[in-house]
Amino acid sequence: MGKKNKKTSIINLEEISFIIILIALLALLFGPIFITYDVFNLKILSYILLVFGALSFITYFINKFKNRKFSKFEIIIYIMFILSLLSLLGSNNIQTSIFGFTSRYEGLLMLYTYYSLALLASTIKKEYMIKTIIYMIIAIGLFNVLYGILQVNKLFEVKDMWKYARGFLGNSMSFGLLMIICYFLSLGIFINNVIKNKIINILLIAIFIIGVVISGSMAAILSFIVITIIYIIIKFRNKINKKNAIIFGFIILIFILIFGYFAYKNKIFNRDINNFIHEIYLIVFKGKIDGSFGTGRIHIWKNIIKAFIKHPLFGVGIDNIPYAFNPPLIDVVSHLAVDKAHNDFLQVLVCEGIFSFITYIVLLIKVFINNFKNDDSYKKMLLLPFTAYLLCIFFGISVIRVAPLFWIIIGLLIKEDKA
């Protein structure tokens, strides 16, 4: 009788965990829409996410109280909790370290929210729950890409129109990051036959390819190309079958057509692509690296590394980059003060120090290695957006409207396999 009650309790906890993550995803769907239409601001969304972080943290540890088995991944994340807290020792502005820089809100509490969502997601085992979470992430992407198409085509007046699509994310790079996650999820769904309707599969892939291109994000486009090519090479080495050959041929054709059409219609995109190719040529074949390359990222990265050298152990404080430079570090392209490293790995290194950086890298490497040859179809599917996100974020920034999706994916990747 006691064993039955314990089993029922654990099942109920899994359902509660699932509901918390599902509602958090709904907040990430509707919150950015409300922000775009001035119902509330990003600060309110950050508070909403912090509530879900606290609920995730509590529910996860209740679950652990019932089931006291700890994986290596969980232990690494516990260490990240501690090291992120220790980074307050080097903080220039404690309040910013805790709550995040104004307009970013990615402070210590938000990092704890990410970690807690990952830990909670790792407790979810039921296939229908995992499938629902994946569908919800894709739904978030669909709402954004359809709105983004309206933004770039200017069919009628919508909010936040710019030269590239932003969706409801306020930034084309963040939009590109979301599109990369959703494209590779859709590709994984197709390859692993999660959705039986092939027409829906093909439509999803095509829609998110459109999203990647209209984001105008060179990081997203590069991630798309590199990960797709690597995946094709791996498949060919394993004797790719006719079906997969057709799939990848279709993907390449769709990308070329959409890319060519958008470059023809959008002269700014055409110019940015030419500049990007020229910079790669100068770096690879001429060995020339200028501070303005990568829309000023090289200049930012050089100065970020200098700041890290001055504060190697615990960093300058979470989200404290604006306070790490006196006078402020200025972006040579936008001429605005820099508040992010524009490389998430450097962001962790300079803000939290060498120990947090190493722990973060160890987690990412272990997640990748542990799932690279995993036979679980859902883990094989989730590894694609996980890897593409990491390549994309090497040139971008973590934002609270997208990053929770990545950490939920990490949680699903670190869950224990079925016996």
At residue 418, does pLDDT exceed 60? Answer: no
Better pLDDT: 42 or 92:
42
| Cis peptide, bond prior to residue 328, ω within 30 of zero | no
Supply the Cα-derived Rg of the chain in whole angstroms: 21
| pLDDT the model gives residue 351 | 95
**Region 7-36: what's the mean pLDDT?**
87
Q: Say how far apart CA 259 and CA 288 lie, in whole Å.
A: 28
Which pLDDT tens digit goes with each residue over 337-369? 888 989 999 999 999 999 999 999 999 999 999
**58 neighbors 15 (Cβ within 8 angstroms):** no
Task: Please state the pTM of the whole predicted model.
Answer: 0.93
Select from 213, 184, 180 the least CA-distant residue to 393. Answer: 180
At residue 279, does pLDDT exceed 50? Answer: yes
**Region 220-225: what's the mean pLDDT?**
92
Sorting pLDDT into bands at 50, 70 and 90, what band is 234?
confident
Which pLDDT tens digit goes with each residue over 392-404? 999 989 999 999 9
67's CB contacts (< 8 A; 6+ apart) are 10
Give percent helix, percent strand, percent coil of the chain, each to the nearest 5.
75, 0, 25
**DSSP label of 100:** -
Sorting pLDDT into bands at 50, 70 and 90, what band is 281?
confident
Backbone angles phi, psi at 106, to 5 degrees: -110, 60
Torsion of CA 126, 371, 75, 309, to 10 degrees: -140
DSSP lists the bridge partners of residue 337 as 330
Average model confidence (pLDDT) for the chain?
Answer: 88
SS3 258: helix
Sorting pLDDT into bands at 50, 70 and 90, what band is 294?
low
C-alpha to C-alpha distances, 185 to 27, 131, 189, 377, 395, nearest whole angstrom: 20, 11, 6, 12, 21
Better pLDDT: 109 or 162:
109
| pLDDT the model gives residue 332 | 78
Q: What percent of the chain has pLDDT over 90?
A: 60
Tokens at 283, concatenated: 């770096």
**Region 309-315: what's the mean pLDDT?**
91
| pLDDT the model gives residue 192 | 76
Tell which phi-psi region holds residue 345, choosing left (phi > 0), alpha (psi between -120 and 50) or beta. alpha
| pLDDT the model gives residue 200 | 85
| pLDDT the model gives residue 336 | 83
**Region 119-131: what's the mean pLDDT?**
94
Better pLDDT: 245 or 124:
124
Would you say the C-alpha torsion 169, 172, 174, 179 has a positive or negative sign? positive
> How many CB atoms lie under 10 A from the CB of residue 369?
10
User: What is the distance, to the nearest Å, from the Cα of residue 370 to the centroid of all Cα atoms in its chain?
Assistant: 19
339's CB contacts (< 8 A; 6+ apart) are 101, 103, 104, 319, 321, 322
Tokens at 290, concatenated: 């200028």
Tokens at 279, concatenated: 């910079």
Count of residues making up the chain: 419
**DSSP label of 284:** I
At residue 175, does pLDDT exceed 90? Answer: yes
**Region 34-38: what's the mean pLDDT?**
94
CB hemisphere CA count around 410 (13 angstroms):
23
**Region 111-122: what's the mean pLDDT?**
97
Which pLDDT tens digit goes with each residue over 154-165? 777 788 888 899
Exposed / middle / buried, residue 139 (Cβ in 10 Å: 0-12, 13-18, 19+): middle
| pLDDT the model gives residue 1 | 44
Sorting pLDDT into bands at 50, 70 and 90, what band is 251?
confident
140's CB contacts (< 8 A; 6+ apart) are 25, 28, 29, 178, 182, 405
**146 neighbors 168 (Cβ within 8 angstroms):** no
**DSSP label of 285:** I
Which residue is associated with the tokens 């060995």?
287
Amino acid in the structure at residue 249? G
Q: Say how far apart CA 264 and CA 97 lie, in whole Å.
A: 44
Q: Say how far apart CA 341 and CA 313 lie, in whole Å.
A: 18
At residue 326, does pLDDT exceed 70? Answer: yes
Which pLDDT tens digit goes with each residue over 47-85? 999 999 999 999 999 988 877 788 999 999 999 999 999
